[in-house]
Structure 1
Amino acid sequence: MTDTPDTPEGGSPAPATPAAAPRVTQRILAQYIRDLSFENVLARKGVTGEVAPEIAVQVSLDARKRGGDNQYEVTTKLNATSKTKASGEVLFVLELEYVGVFQIEGVPEAQLHPYLLIECPRITFPFLRRIVSDLTRDGGFPPLNLEIIDFVSLYRNDLARRAQAQQPPAAAPKLDA
């Protein structure tokens, strides 16, 4: 008995292979700064005493479809505020909106939202990080080197926050008079 590619030894047909998943392709069409603000409060007002900074960073993401076929715009909004630990006086405030324009094909519709808000910001983050570092250094402070952002956790936290906001408030207990 001669084996064929479709018939393994023993004569039974080979199991069917699952349909090939669509190939995901992604191209970065553009990256740019939509909005940028850096305010050096320390230089303007002056701060007395020890200047031990405490930095708070907030990140939010937004994505929208553009006019072209399979084109999406993903915006990373970053706010960083540095204050003195002792008195809470503001040293600097940085606000940045960094946009990546992507052409994405082959991602199933159900997976597109997480793909846009996780994978796309991962690609643009190193560029945003360099801008923040250069801007704080050029603004008269030590460079602010942002830690790597876990975009999966950020996405999950945003989903949980939205789900909680959509829940109706609990009914207030009735008081008998």
Structure 2
Amino acid sequence: MRLFLALMPPPVLRRRLGELADRAHARLGGRRVPDDSLHLTLAFLGEVPQAQGEALARWLETREIPAGEWRLDAWGAFRRPGIVWVGSRAPDRALAELQAALWNELEQQGIAGRPSRFIPHVTLLRRVPRLERAKPSPPDLVWPYRRVALLRSFTDRDRARYQILARSPLA
């Protein structure tokens, strides 16, 4: 199973992110990420055997995370895959510490693949044919978070969909 750990936006924020995605899509084209797929990936685990996935779910269900807030105040892009995202102008120390702590524990469980860099972002568009230099006005959103989710990724008809397998307890 293909797994990752992520923060899932609360419903009101999910709608606001969807509105940003609509604005960006109208201007840039590409493929808009559906509202129910919007998330912040903390750790992409890749293909994991079923038994290890079940162990990860049990681990996460006992793993409390510190509550925090993430300010989304910048647009960004990854040129090569044609991705447009929203994130932060400045690094968010609390998110970086959470991501590092999760990876420390994952590595102790035999999971490899920690990225060399962590750029917290929410992907809004994929396969944008031409990324403009001029971006829409900066977003100004606050994402309160209190738990992490373990998600399984499926691909159908060239679209990813996600199933939540486990969540950490509420902080």
TM-score by length of 2: 0.29
Q: Greater RCO between the two (CA within 8 Å, min separation 6)?
A: 2
TM-score by length of 1: 0.28
Larger Rg: 1
